[in-house]
Every structure is written in structure tokens, then in C-alpha cells.
Amino acid sequence: MSSSILTSLPSLKVTKHFIARHGLVPNSSATSKPMLIYHSVFSPSATKSSISAHLSKTNVIEPHWTYSMYPTSHFHSTTHEVLIILRGSARLLFGGEANPEKVETDVCKGDAIVLPAGMAHRLVEDKSGDFQMLGCYPVGAARWDMCYGKEGEGDVEGRIKDLKWFEKDPLYGSEGPALEACSGITA
């Protein structure tokens, strides 16, 4: 899908991280899908309004909230999640604090992160002091839950395995990195 605020697919840089289960946190293991970071996918001129309009046209995900990221490691077992950086920059941690395979990375305005259900994530540092994201979920998806990798959270793995992966790329539509996502890739 072509859009004046979206980086062309041939120019897009994507980082993929397959993070294995750690303790009670499934990460990529339950879906066999990596976390994807689309670097500078939206132009610097993109606004929350123009991004929301683009998402409406693509009709794969829909915005639910605008906020920073929780400083506590958490994941969702009822839906996949797409986080679009609207403002500022931050250091984020994926995979769980104690996980030897955890990934810490910096993100900034214009980046987007596709998180498979079960992928732990948290804010490490708001580097700009005004970090803000647009939290998006698949159209028609169940309400997201909050899991922390603790006992008593029910059949997390079962809920995740019941979820379908994206049939279209959340940002590009009929083609794009989410459609090419496969297990075992780390970059």
C-alpha cells in the first residue's frame, strides 16, 4: 500500500528478533513469530491523525490508546500488538528482565514494532522526556489482557496458540515484513 507518510518497502529497514521462552513468559515460542521493528517506517511529518487515517485505509489494525510504555515487563495473551512511536525516543526491553536472550533497543518517532502475543516488553528509559506511542491491535481482536509471567495467569500458551497471525501486513497491507515473518531469525 502506497502512502505519502509511509517509507517504501524497498527502502524499509526491518530488524527481526526471535526471543525464546523464558520462565512463564512465552515470547516468540508460542507463535513461532519474531518481534519486528520497522525503522523510520513513518515520515517525520506523520501525525497521529495521518497515521490513524492510514491505518483505517489498510484496515488490519486499529488504534486503541496513546501513551508511553509501562516500566514493568508485561505481555498480552489475547492479541498481537503494534506499537507506533508518535513522539520522542526511548530504550525498550523485550523478552523479560532476567532472560539471557532479552533485547534492549532504542526506538524513536516514526518507528513501529510488531509484537507477537506473548512477547514481554517494557520501558527502560524515556530518553527524550516526551516518549509517546500509538497502541494498535488487529481489527476485531479480543480486548488485550495484561500478563506478567507469574503463576495464576491461566492457560497463557493456549490463548496465544489460538490466535491467527496477520493475513495482511499491519502497515503495508497485501505485502510486507509481517507476512514474511518466520521463526528462528535474529538480526
Kindly list the structural domains of the chain, giving each domain's residue range(s) and its CATH number in brackets, ordered by start: 9-170 (2.60.120.10)
Express each pLDDT in 41-76 by its tens digit. Answer: 999 999 999 999 999 999 999 999 999 999 999 999
In the three-class reduction of DSSP (H, G, I as helix; E, B as strand; rest coil), residue 156 is classed as helix
- Rounded to an integer, what distance in angstroms lies between the CA atom of residue 60 and that of residue 55? 7
pLDDT in tens, 133-150: 999 999 999 899 999 999
Distance of CA 150 to the CA centre of its chain: 22
Torsion region of 67: left, alpha or beta (phi above 0 gives left; psi -120 to 50 gives alpha): beta
- Answer yes or no: is pLDDT of 184 > 60: no
In the chain, the amino acid numbered 101 is E
Contact 133, 84 (CB under 8 A): yes
Under DSSP, is residue 6 helix (H, G, I), strand (E, B) or coil?
strand
Q: Report which secondary-structure segment, H or E, holds 37.
A: strand 35-39
